[in-house]
Amino acid sequence: MNLAKLCAARAAGGRPVTAGLIGAGKFGSMFLAQVPHVEGLEVAAIADLDPERARVACREVGWDEARIAATRFVTDGAELAALDGVEVVIEATGHPRAGIRHAQAAIAAGRHVVMVNVEADVLAGPVLARLADEAGVVYSMAFGDQPALVCEMVDWARSNGFRVVAAGKGTKYLPSYHEVTPDAVWEHYGLTPGEAKAAGMNPQMFNSFLDGTKSAIEAAAIANATGLSVPEEGLAFPPCGADDLARVLRPREIGGQLERTGMVEVVSSLERDGRPVFRDLRWGVYVVIEALSDYAAACFRQYGLPTDATGRYAAMYRPFHMIGLELATSVLSAALRGEATGAPLGFHATVAAIAKRDLGPGDQLDGEGGYTVWGRVMPATRAARDEVLPIGLAQGITLRRAVAKGTPLCFADVEIAEDEAVRLYHDCLAMAGG
């Protein structure tokens, strides 16, 4: 609340909030589309490997030539982070190693960081957040993306005295999707390969949404930012519509599907036989809460909340999220309030790389959404104990021994050089269980 008022006051004082965007893809373009309509917000610079492509993106979202001419375009995110006149750096590349490097550069330069790059956040976010705090700047998740929206709902519940039983998001899921490769992804989206190519759609990126990897990454981000637990054996993806959240997402001991209270879970918009779920939450987020008194439970009923049979469990949900169209909330919150719209508080979960097929010595891993591995969320304590390889590091490296289909890969299974991303991930593992 009040961000628009605060931002307008900055504009009236001749000091607009200034952002720098790294990565002018879909998420970044959606943010750029809204900037001209937010009084007191400006984009000072955009970094993209192809600056001309970034200029084209600006034109496509409605920027006039004067605004484009007033914006600096560079090829390097670290260079952008060091530019004078940039208050908030938005990292939207989607590449874990690049995201870590850019965040470090921004923090070193005294800039706030909005980390759209969830892949980087689940790999090193807890350490990056600590470094930002030590530097006196904000490290924030990106509002508009589902993890930050879930964090908002969890905070709402806790600050109003409810116990958080479950929180998470929706997606389209069937168990067979874990095996899908980029060659077969478009049939699940109702597209031909030619249609997807004409639209500029990346099959590996879209496959990461389908094969469960992106859901696991977002679940880990939610867990690390809220302290909620993740399932021991990965997300269950129970089919569940908006009306059944309070019944399905409660502990097993009282008839639900959770291991215990206080879990992150992702619900599917499809029944296991492929039928659509009634009033599905495919694009939304939710929180299931528990009333801690008979009086509060009675109020649930009096004010029409859908509850489980006990009347003590209820759900709040948001049916849609608007991605980059809502990102200004994070930028303004960091610059005007010094507050994050969600940030990792610890290292509670990671995303393990799971063999998508039988793999052998010499096979090269191709990362999330590819042909070799998919990502499954895992408690960080278990990952630390078993030295499990995270999905964020499972790209461009070679196996040194065989790994069976469905098995988590470990560091001992691969040839991997020690670099900054590996070091920071191990620093995060040292925080597990703390």
* Among the listed residues 312, 248, 229, the one whose alpha carbon sits nearest the alpha carbon of residue 286: 248
- Number of domains, the chain: 3
- CATH assignment of the domain containing 97: 3.40.50.720
Rounded to a whole number, what is the distance in angstroms from the first to the last CA of the chain? 33
Cα 373 from Cα 391, distance rounded (Å)? 8
* Among the listed residues 285, 266, 259, 288, the one whose alpha carbon sits nearest the alpha carbon of residue 164: 288
Spatial neighbors of 25 by CB under 8 A, at least 6 apart, are 92, 93, 94
pLDDT, residue 322, reads 95
Q: For 388-410, what is each residue's pLDDT tens digit? A: 999 999 999 999 999 999 999 99
Do 284 and 165 fall into the same domain?
A: yes
Q: For 126-167, what is each residue's pLDDT tens digit? A: 999 999 999 999 999 999 999 999 999 999 999 999 999 999
* Token output for 104: 């470090």
* Token output for 296: 């509060």
Do 355 and 308 fall into the same domain?
A: no
Do 162 and 267 fall into the same domain?
A: yes
Q: What rounded mean pLDDT belongs to the chain? A: 96
Do 315 and 333 fall into the same domain?
A: no
**Pairing of β 72-74 and β 41-47:** parallel
Work out the number of other CB atoms within 10 angstroms of the CB of residue 46: 25
Do 290 and 424 fall into the same domain?
A: no
Give the C-alpha distances (Å, rounded to integers) separating 70 from 16, 21, 46, 193. Answer: 14, 14, 11, 39
* Token output for 121: 């956040």
The percent of residues in the chain predicted with pLDDT above 70, rounded, is: 100
The answer to whether residues 341 and 330 touch, using CB atoms and an 8 Å cutoff, is yes
Rounded mean pLDDT, 317-323: 96
Do 45 and 80 fall into the same domain?
A: yes
Cα 155 from Cα 142, distance rounded (Å)? 16
pLDDT, residue 1, reads 77
Q: For 304-313, what is each residue's pLDDT tens digit? A: 998 999 999 9
The answer to whether residues 267 and 248 touch, using CB atoms and an 8 Å cutoff, is yes
* Token output for 303: 């004010």
In the sheet that holds 263-268, the strands lie side by side as 263-268, 163-171, 285-290, 313-318
pLDDT, residue 327, reads 98
The answer to whether residues 107 and 131 touch, using CB atoms and an 8 Å cutoff, is yes
End position of a domain, from candidates 278, 302, 337: 337
Spatial neighbors of 321 by CB under 8 A, at least 6 apart, are 144, 145, 146, 149, 283, 284, 285
Domain that holds residue 225: 147-173+212-320
Q: Which residues pair with 223 in a beta bridge?
A: none
Return the SS3 of 305: coil
Evaluate if residue 315 carries a pLDDT over 80: yes
Work out the number of other CB atoms within 10 angstroms of the CB of residue 179: 13
Task: Evaluate whether residue 200 is within a structural domain.
Answer: no
Do 396 and 332 fall into the same domain?
A: no
Q: For 178-205, what is each residue's pLDDT tens digit? A: 999 999 999 999 899 998 887 778 899 9
Cα 127 from Cα 133, distance rounded (Å)? 10
Task: Evaluate whether residue 190 is within a structural domain.
Answer: no
- CATH assignment of the domain containing 367: 3.90.1210.10
Task: Evaluate whether residue 183 is within a structural domain.
Answer: no
Do 165 and 309 fall into the same domain?
A: yes
* Token output for 64: 């006039």
Do 81 and 119 fall into the same domain?
A: yes
pLDDT, residue 200, reads 72
pTM of the model: 0.97
Work out the number of other CB atoms within 10 angstroms of the CB of residue 423: 13
Task: Evaluate whether residue 205 is within a structural domain.
Answer: no
End position of a domain, from candidates 310, 337, 364: 337
Q: For 20-47, what is each residue's pLDDT tens digit? A: 999 999 999 999 999 999 999 999 999 9
Q: For 232-255, what is each residue's pLDDT tens digit? A: 999 999 999 999 999 999 999 999
Of all helices (H) and strands (E), which one includes residue 139? strand 139-141
Task: Evaluate whether residue 155 is within a structural domain.
Answer: yes
Do 239 and 227 fall into the same domain?
A: yes
Do 271 and 396 fall into the same domain?
A: no
Task: Evaluate whether residue 107 is within a structural domain.
Answer: yes
Evaluate if residue 278 carries a pLDDT over 90: yes
Cα 266 from Cα 251, distance rounded (Å)? 15
Do 257 and 389 fall into the same domain?
A: no
The answer to whether residues 81 and 58 touch, using CB atoms and an 8 Å cutoff, is no
Spatial neighbors of 255 by CB under 8 A, at least 6 apart, are 247, 308, 309
Q: For tokens 């706030």, what's the residue? A: 112
Evaluate if residue 434 carries a pLDDT over 80: no
Task: Evaluate whether residue 198 is within a structural domain.
Answer: no
Task: Evaluate whether residue 252 is within a structural domain.
Answer: yes
Evaluate if residue 14 carries a pLDDT over 90: yes
End position of a domain, from candidates 337, 365, 384: 337
Evaluate if residue 294 carries a pLDDT over 80: yes
